[in-house]
Chain A
């Protein structure tokens, strides 16, 4: 939770362009996009759909290369997949042939952790998100919310310094969303120094979770504004929406976001 400004940003996009071309059509997803992610912060990115939010994450983790500009991880330019970053995708992408335990162990397994050790770690995390008893269940036997929990803890299992999250709660119902948001905050608070970059199209979610909210413009994606969230932690996500500070911030950002969404139509 402590933001160590002196140590410099953990991630930095420096004047990044990203262009997609398909069937002769050229789409500028990001243009002159610069952003610093501070060490240990929880950063939310909101913007109209199709504004290139997911592209930002794919660039940060190295699944995409920038068309122009550079990406820095801890002040060093990074190319290719960055395995020090965890990536929680919108689709749960669980391996259907592995049960819950096998999925949570995957990251530790490929990183060479001892079987006993990774089993223990996995069981601990599974219990921590309330999935004890489901260790041997396969993907098809889990609800959407349970799948996303597994998706999150399998990324946490090998303790990456940075976790990118791409609308992880998007397809879930409102109640499950709140529960998972609250759980995510607790998991993050327990891991001092971990940085989260969280993409969402849901403004209350962005504000409720984050230290800073980045608002993006519609295509080509640029940064419209960045808002610090002055709500103290630990936060209770369930009662947050009644907080006047939350409401003021929400209304302020909404006015800006609304313009961008209208520009899209």
Chain B
């Protein structure tokens, strides 16, 4: 019979598949490295330009400059205020995120099981989505006080809505064909949920979890800016009010650094969790 032809064909395909994937990985690594070099170069160039322009084109009083910022940050490290501010903001962000994310996933799942309730709630959900939720920050301060709680709840709210809507959408877009195939193969309703619906919706859920992290951070910082006694937002606000531009810029730069580091970590996590997707479908941009 035709066993020989049949055995040969996959070899060809294997060579193609393996070779293709391996080449892609090598090339991706190299281009990622090149990209990283360019990114760092760009950041340093902006700092250099700032350093040069400050005092020449721009008034140092209003824009400060990197060398001053570096000095200020060093002082903050020495006297412990930086660690305390970063600690407070990160604690608020993390608490809000870690409470909001599971709640959002749970609610998204529950609502996806009740299409009628979802239809009723839909305009309201979209309405809340359309409101600039961060504008609620002063209200949250009235409700939950000027301590860390109000910022935790703000971060929680931001995380909740982004993750909730994504989870709900993700579950509603699960391919019927995959669910049917699982049922025909003998999967129970619970098994279909855990083994098909959840993994099929995971790219959406992960995307929601991902965009929520910087938003939770923004929520905590804005809450601090409005009214607080500690944190990076508090430091930025206080410095600005006393015309300590160097202090304000330091706070902003530290925030940017935190966001960059979080995104780097999230890229890794996402790439691992969604390793089954074709590389071009991964959210991380590759040039």
- A residues apposed to B, CB below 8 Å: 61, 63, 81, 83, 85-87, 89, 91, 93, 95-99, 106-107, 109-111, 129-131, 133-134, 137-143, 145-146, 154-155, 158, 176, 178-179, 182-183, 186, 234, 236-238
Contacts and interface: CB of A to CB of B under 8 A. Distances in A.
Contacts of A129: 6
Interface of B: 1-2, 5-7, 9-10, 13-14, 16-17, 21, 175, 177-178, 180-188, 191, 195-196, 199-200, 202, 275-278
B17 A111 contact: no
Contact of B17 (A97, A143, A236): A143
A98 to B, nearest CB: 7
A95 B178 contact: yes
A87 B181 contact: yes
A146 B10 contact: yes
Given A89-B177, A107-B186, A139-B276, A183 B6 contact: yes
A85 B13 CA distance: 31
A134 B21 CA distance: 13
Contacts of B6: 129-130, 179, 182-183
Looking at B186, B188, B200, B275, the one whose CB has the most chain A CB atoms below 10 A away is B186
A176 B9 contact: yes
B187 A96 contact: no
B217 to A, nearest CB: 30
16 contacts: A81-B184, A83-B186, A85-B184, A93-B177, A96-B277, A97-B199, A99-B276, A110-B186, A129-B6, A130-B6, A133-B14, A140-B277, A141-B21, A142-B17, A143-B17, A182-B2
Contact of B191 (A110, A139, A186, A236): A110
A199 B287 CA distance: 45
A182 B2 CA distance: 7
Given A87-B181, A134-B10, 10 more contacts: A87-B184, A93-B181, A95-B199, A98-B276, A141-B17, A141-B21, A142-B17, A183-B6, A186-B1, A238-B2
